[in-house]
Amino acid sequence: MWAYIIRRLIYSVPILFGVALVVFALFNLVGGDPAVLLLGKHATAERVAMVRTELGLDRPMVVQFGDYLKQIVTFDFGKSYTTREEISTKILNGLGPTLCLTIPAFFLTAIISLLIALVVSYYRGRMIDRLSIIFFVFLMSMPALAYILFGQYILASKLGWFPISGYGSSWSERAYYLALPVLISVFLNLGSDIRFFRNSIIEEVGQDYVRTARAKGLAEKWVYLKHVLKNSMIPVITYVVIQIPYLVLGSLLLESFFSIPGLGGMTVEAVNNSDFPVLKAMTTVISLLYILTTLLTDVLYRLVDPRMSFGKRG
């Protein structure tokens, strides 16, 4: 396993280099002159040239790209154009609030979705299954903004069950302020997750090994728990793990509306201020997460199904 992990990490180096090249080209060649965007179109040429020199934008592109690669390796992305804060520090400070919101929502959604998917697939073709499909499609059709406005206006403002916005300094305060955003995040992803898990489980139900288990007299609930659930884990793991990178930016709207000082709010602020270093750093972090989660997916495959060989993959 360790040899496979090391080999995959080595394969990831050229992938990361390609991603860095594309990101650098988008922000430095296609995105326009950052100095002009910061100063405005009415700035004088002398002022623009001065800012370009201060930001190091007057150097050759090859040198700038080399600096960007060094930033990725050292995780030192320089300073923000607008706040002049260290970007790495901003990311680390925003990571805590983001994870406090997304990790509970992530695990709650995965567990609840899998349990409900098992129940509705067990009663597949019956009324409960058909009604659940309609309900899940309805959940998927509702935009995120509708959930947020409903939660803040009805649940928080009118009923007073939750605070409208805030974050808090202690763990108890954070739990109090994050309860509603976590609840909304769960409902945002519940419909699509349950529908995917249900289809994966039903696909396994029709396999030959399930019919064999039933022919041997194994009870239906044990067929599901011992055989169907285990063998349907591979597509479920793929679906769940691939969502991990979205934990960083997936709560962008929630953080903005509920005043949570996380990475999502930081990214929105960077977009509004044309703060390219922050945007480049966040894009790089998301790319790294995708590479690592792809590796994690393959390792989890091996844990779920020991018959899968690492030597034949990657």
**3-state class of 300 per DSSP?**
helix
Q: What is the pLDDT of residues 261-279, one digit of tens each?
A: 888 778 877 877 777 788 8
- For residues 76 and 88, what is the distance between their CA atoms, to the nearest angstrom? 6
Q: What is the pLDDT of residue 312?
A: 47
* Global pTM value: 0.73
Q: What is the pLDDT of residues 69-92, one digit of tens each?
A: 888 888 888 888 777 788 888 888
Q: Are 295 and 224 in contact (CB under 8 A)?
A: no
Domain count along the chain: 2
Do 121 and 59 fall within a single domain?
no
Domain that holds residue 7: 2-74
CATH of the domain at 93: 1.10.3720.10
Q: Are 268 and 253 in contact (CB under 8 A)?
A: no
189 CB-near residues (< 8 Å, 6+ apart): 105, 109, 113, 243
Do 172 and 206 fall within a single domain?
yes
Do 249 and 102 fall within a single domain?
yes
Q: List the one residue out of 89, 28, 37 whose CA is nearest residue 59.
A: 28
Do 96 and 201 fall within a single domain?
yes
Q: What is the pLDDT of residue 161?
A: 87
What are the backbone angles phi and psi of residue 168, rounded to the nearest 5°?
95, 165
Q: Are 139 and 189 in contact (CB under 8 A)?
A: no
Judged on CB neighbours under 10 Å (0-12, 13-18, 19+), 145 is: exposed
In a domain, 84, yes or no: no
Count Cβ atoms below 10 Å from residue 285 Cβ, excluding itself. 19
In a domain, 81, yes or no: no
In a domain, 82, yes or no: no
Do 36 and 115 fall within a single domain?
no
In a domain, 299, yes or no: yes
Pick the last residue of a domain from 32, 51, 74: 74
Do 65 and 98 fall within a single domain?
no
Q: What is the pLDDT along the chain (314 residues), one digit of tens a residue?
A: 677 777 777 877 888 888 888 878 877 766 566 666 666 667 677 777 777 777 777 778 788 888 888 888 888 888 887 777 888 888 888 888 888 888 888 888 888 888 888 888 777 778 887 888 888 888 888 888 888 888 888 888 888 888 888 887 788 888 888 888 888 888 888 888 888 888 877 777 767 777 777 777 777 677 776 767 777 777 777 777 777 766 666 577 788 788 888 887 788 778 777 777 888 888 888 878 777 777 777 776 666 655 555 554 44
Do 180 and 264 fall within a single domain?
yes
Q: What is the pLDDT of residue 70?
A: 86
72 CB-near residues (< 8 Å, 6+ apart): 16, 20, 284
Pick the last residue of a domain from 74, 108, 138: 74
Q: What is the pLDDT of residue 303?
A: 65
Do 21 and 112 fall within a single domain?
no
Q: What is the pLDDT of residue 152?
A: 85
Pick the last residue of a domain from 29, 46, 74: 74
- For residues 245 and 236, what is the distance between their CA atoms, to the nearest angstrom? 16
In a domain, 79, yes or no: no
Do 170 and 284 fall within a single domain?
yes
Do 263 and 164 fall within a single domain?
yes
